[in-house]
Amino acid sequence: MEPVIRQIALALSLDRQFSFDNFVSGRAELILSNLQSLILGNGEIQIGLWGAASTGKTHLLNAGADFARANGVLMQIYDATQLLHCDADEFEGFSHCDVLAIDNLDALAGDPGWEACFYQVINRCRDGEYRFLYSMTDRPENLPTRLDDFRSRLQWGLLLQLPAIGDGDIRQILRKRARLLGIELSDEVISYLMTRHARDLAEQIAILRHLDGISLRQQRRVTIPLVKQALRELG
């Protein structure tokens, strides 16, 4: 019988853009050095990343997978929001990797089966079976769990807060992402995007993807008129 749980891939449509090199944060050096050490097996064995939306949590987990592949490390990534649609009793295979990474782990809070499952996951990590990396939106001690031991084990490892990104960070990220797509964004275009549309990084990246498609189809440089067209098409 086909197993209920298979490796659940995160959104990797921009996989080539998820790298440690283009992560932008005031704490980038501290965060990246600790993640690289965990992946290579010469640092912490458990790290929790926490921060609000658009602070780079999913980016870092995907970038970690890219770094792991480049260094011959087997890393498995799951999205906890998708795991919720599966049976916790069928979650197997995570011991057959060097690093287990879970995005949005706080989505499992309140589910007794999944809380018990990850209580054991962390125990096995502490026993040296693999390294464990996870992300959530708030500190573990604030997680509304049913199993206190699960919440306490999330606090065993190193906890790294991802600070909120400012306008300057968004500008830098947009420029870097655009260059990876072969697009040069002028200061005027970036300012237009920042002033005429939400300062939400996820939305700005979605606009950038759409701009890339239009630019390729029409063989046009990305200018303010092209941005206006893209925004009209996106509604």
Residue-wise over 176-192: b if at least 16 C-beta within 10 A, else e? bbbeebebebeeebbeb
Specify the domain boundaries for CATH 1.10.8 within the chain: 167-234
In angstroms, rounded to a whole number, what is the distance separating the alpha carbons of residues 206 and 226? 15
In the CATH hierarchy, which top-level class contains the domain 167-234? mainly alpha
Extract the residue ranges of the chain whose pLDDT is less than 70: 1-16, 92-95, 197-199, 235
- Distance CA(211)–CA(230), nearest Å, equals 6
Q: What is residue 11's predicted lDDT score, i.e. its pLDDT?
A: 37
Q: At what angle do helices 167-180 and 187-196 cross, to 10 degrees?
A: 120
* Residue extent(s) of CATH 3.40.50.300 domains in the chain: 15-161
Dihedral over alpha carbons 95, 125, 133, 120 (to 10 degrees): 80
Cα separation, 18 vs 21, in Å, equals: 8
Q: Tell me, what's the pLDDT at 67?
A: 94
> Quick one: CA torsion of 36, 77, 113, 109, rounded to 10 degrees?
60
Structure confidence at residue 138 (pLDDT): 94
Cβ atoms of 70 and 3 closer than 8 Å = no
Q: Residue 16's pLDDT is what?
A: 57
Distance CA 230, CA 145 (A): 43
- What is the CATH architecture of 15-161? 3-Layer(aba) Sandwich (3.40)
Q: pLDDT at position 13, please?
A: 39
- How many residues make up the chain in this entry? 235
This prediction's pTM: 0.81
Q: Which residues are within 8 A (CB) of 179 and not within 5 positions of it... i.e. 6 or more apart?
A: none
Give tens-digit pLDDT for 84-119: 988 898 886 566 899 999 999 999 999 999 999 999
